[in-house]
Amino acid sequence: MSLNFGRTLLAIPGPSVIPERVLAAMHRPSPNIYEGELIELTASLFPDLKAVARTDADVAIYIANGHGAWEAALKNTLHRGDKVLVLATGLFGMGWAELAGTLELEVQVLDFGNQRDADPDRLEEVLRADAERKIKAVMTVHTDTATSVRNDIPALRQAITNSGHDALFLVDCIASLGCERFEMDDWGVDVMVAACQKGLMTPAGLSFVYFNGKAAEAQKRCKPGYYWNWHPRTNPEIYYQQFAGTAPTHHLYGLREALTMLVHEEGIEAAWARHRTIAHAIWAAVEAWGDGGTMRLNIADPAKRSLAVSAIGTGEGEAGRIRRWCENEAGVTLGIGLGFGRPGTPEGDRNFRIGHMGHQNVAMVLGALGAIDTAMKAQGIAHGDGALAAATTVLAKHGQR
Ligand SMILES: *Cc1c(COP(=O)(O)O)cnc(C)c1O
């Protein structure tokens, strides 16, 4: 006997829920890739991709996941033996650092742990100490999806400027793009990487590297190789060069539809506001549960929390029991804890994540929260009451904050 019949809900922080309209746009035969509609459709994506990131910078599209964009960004801006400084605030910052090491870059990591954002003062100090200007790039993530911290990109930029250092500033917005404010040009970011399967609501398989004039200049001394070179992708003489081969045809149709929804129908500011309200509703629920149980948000300071994902700590084993009950009995899939110990072990089962990025509405948010509430009741896990009421109070005030 189970209650789990009906539509399932994916509440993991990527891949995110794909809108039916995006799926429908992809349901078609393969088009001509040399002439016609697809060429125009591809050209139409660039202004919208720039609008989402608030930039006039160039953007190259890769047939790759986020790791591909990570690699592309480094191969186009750095030379073997160059030194990079990574500000790590969770597993994703660490992952980018590890990848940099495999490209024979000299990697220095400033590790800020799993529960706080990167410290701009510390960054400034390290850059000032680099009198020989060995550090060629500072790398960080906007939202670290493992810890759900949001780094203060303008403050980090200010630290670089204050230090007088000329290192490039590379930022990973894979989890945050389309979900919360990111102003590439105003914030002085030189290179930004993103992927399509989180806030951009498209099946995994496309990623993006945005780069400004300073980064384009830096590329001239690099050897990005054939496939990762961003130059032909942004300046194709013939369409075939734009993707270094066959275009990702169906993904382009899907992305077109997703960007129409995000940029032209909802509007990017409205989408950010929606994510803000939804995130606050989830935090209100978690705080209510914690008042009478072990549950707590991984990032204590609301101003430092991501609006796209929430990492949540619990008592030993509880996160695993909640997740499994939600998946098996409620049809709701929650995210595993990442970077806190392996899921299935006592340490790993003390954390889980709720993804609230992209195609999300009130029904979906309350569905996920309601399933978690039910899971704790069904399994006798201690928790405070009133979580759903706390969430609906926040949702009801959307537009008023
Ligand atoms: C998801 C994610 C990645 C990795 O993207 P993949 O598509 O899985 O390679 C990197 N950084 C952040 C911040 C992410 O959220």
pTM beyond cutoff 0.95: yes
pLDDT at residue 179 in the model: 98
Same-domain check for residues 286 and 188: no
- Cα(14) to ligand 1 centroid in Å equals 8
Same-domain check for residues 298 and 162: no
If you search the block for the tokens 């309209």, which residue do you land on?
21
pLDDT at residue 313 in the model: 97
pLDDT at residue 401 in the model: 59
d(CA 74, CA 103): 8
pLDDT at residue 342 in the model: 80
Same-domain check for residues 62 and 171: yes
Same-domain check for residues 347 and 360: yes
pLDDT at residue 119 in the model: 98
Same-domain check for residues 285 and 195: no
pLDDT at residue 86 in the model: 98
3-state secondary structure the chain: CCCCCCCCEEECCCCCCCCHHHHHHHCCCCCCCCCCHHHHHHHHHHHHHHHHHCCCCEEEEEECCHHHHHHHHHHHHCCCCCEEEEEECCHHHHHHHHHHHHCCCEEEEEECCCCCCCCHHHHHHHHHHCCCCCEEEEEEECEECCCCEECCHHHHHHHHHHHCCCCEEEEECCCCCCCCCCCCCCCCCCEEEEECCCCCCCCCCEEEEEECHHHHHHHCCCCCHHHHCHHHHHCCCCHHHHHCCCCCHHHHHHHHHHHHHHHHHHCHHHHHHHHHHHHHHHHHHHHHHHECECCEECCCCHHHECCCEEEEECCCCHHHHHHHHHHHHHCEEEEECCCCCCCCCCCHHHEEEEECCCCCCHHHHHHHHHHHHHHHHHHCCCCCCCHHHHHHHHHHCCCCC
* Domain enclosing residue 184, as ranges: 31-265
Select from 16, 63, 174, 191 the residue to mutate for testing ligand 1; criterion: most ligand atoms less than 8 Å from CB.
174
For ligand 1, atom 5, which residue shows the shortest CA distance?
66
Classify residue 22: in a domain, yes or no: no
d(CA 33, CA 261): 25
| Residue 168: both structure tokens together | 């490039």
Select from 70, 87, 92, 306 the residue to mutate for testing ligand 1; criterion: most ligand atoms less than 8 Å from CB.
92
Classify residue 4: in a domain, yes or no: no
Chain-centroid distance, C-alpha 253: 22
Same-domain check for residues 170 and 292: no
pLDDT at residue 340 in the model: 85
Atom of ligand 1 nearest to the CA of 309: 15
pLDDT (tens, 9 = 90+) of the chain, 401 residues, equals: 889 999 999 999 999 999 999 999 999 999 999 999 999 999 999 999 999 999 999 999 999 999 999 999 999 999 999 999 999 999 999 999 999 999 999 999 999 999 999 999 999 999 999 999 999 999 999 999 999 999 999 999 999 999 999 999 999 999 999 999 999 999 999 999 999 999 999 999 999 999 999 999 999 999 999 999 999 999 988 898 999 999 999 999 999 999 999 999 999 999 999 999 999 999 999 999 999 999 999 999 999 999 999 999 999 999 999 999 999 999 999 999 998 888 778 777 899 999 999 999 999 999 999 999 999 999 999 999 999 999 999 999 998 85
Same-domain check for residues 207 and 319: no
Atom of ligand 1 nearest to the CA of 69: 9
Domain boundary (250, 265, 280) is at 265
Domain boundary (207, 233, 265) is at 265
223: CATH: 3.40.640.10
66 lines ligand 1 (CB under 6 A): yes
d(CA 77, CA 206): 20
